[in-house]
Amino acid sequence: MARTINQAGLDLVKHFEGFYAQTYLCPAGVLTIGYGHTGRDVVLGQCIDQREAEALLREDMEAACAAVQRLVTVELNDNQFAALASFCFNCGSGNLGVSTLLKKLNHEDYDAVPGELARWSKATDPATGVKRTLPGLVRRRAAEAELWLLSSESESVEEGAVPSMPQRLEPPADSVRYEVIARSGLKLRGGPGQEYETLEVLAPQQLVATGRQRGEWVEVDK
């Protein structure tokens, strides 16, 4: 029987993907819309509402869940399955299929999974082709690991809650957090220049982590 992601896992995915009504380029340079939806059906200038985004997410999660069910040969409880479904949705079934994580898990090394998840915190910069650690991926992998560790049937994540980041996993040392002070908020653009579309406006007092600087522009991760 086909398994589905539980509510805790779905909340985690929606939290880290965020809802975007318009297409944008993700840090890896892939056109994305809604809750992390990608594919040939995503085009520049496309707009969708939240209902459409949730429908796309359900379809995408069905594919991710099917991949986890196909690739993993050991038993998983609902939280463990949800953690891997989130990982698969974010990193792709191909990466899960060739990962050391899967190899260890299928040899019943359940304890190795949190550490293996933490290794998948880098994305390739489309401008340079160099892989770099993204604070957002560090936090996501940590949340997936925490969900994974809720391994007994008596433990569960409260409905609507998102697992917090374990203290043992820290953002990169070169990441500095700043508070947004502009009254009109901070505009996040798809690239370093006014010609790039505004993806989101961060509210005053929100904290952001800084990354590399390109001239007068700096990469941020909320």
Q: Is the pLDDT of residue 122 over 50?
A: yes
Catalytic residues: 17
pLDDT digits (tens, 9 = 90+) for 52-94: 999 999 999 999 999 999 999 999 999 999 999 999 999 999 9
What local confidence, expressed as pLDDT, does residue 124 receive? Answer: 82
Q: Could you tell me which residues come within 8 angstroms of residue 88 by beta carbon, excluding any fewer than 6 positions away?
A: 64, 65, 67, 68, 96
Using CA atoms, how far apart are residues 203 and 25, in angstroms rounded to an integer?
21
- Per-residue pLDDT band at 117 (split at 50, 70, 90): very high
What ranges make up the beta strands (E) of 43-112? none
**Domains observed in the chain:** 7-149 (1.10.530.40), 177-221 (no CATH)
Q: Please give the pLDDT value at position 178.
A: 59
Mean per-residue pLDDT of the chain: 80
What pLDDT sits at residue 176?
Answer: 46
CB burial of 5-26 (b: ≥16 within 10 Å; e: otherwise) equals bbebbbbbbbbbbeebeebbbb
- Give the number of other Cβ atoms within 10 Å of residue 50's Cβ: 11
Of residues 209 and 104, the one with the higher pLDDT is 104
Residue 169 scores a pLDDT above 50: no
What is the DSSP secondary structure assignment for residue 47, as one 8-state letter? B
Label residues 31-46 b or e (16+ Cβ within 10 Å = b).
bbbbbbbbeeebeeee
pLDDT at position 129, please? 82
End-to-end CA distance of the chain: 38
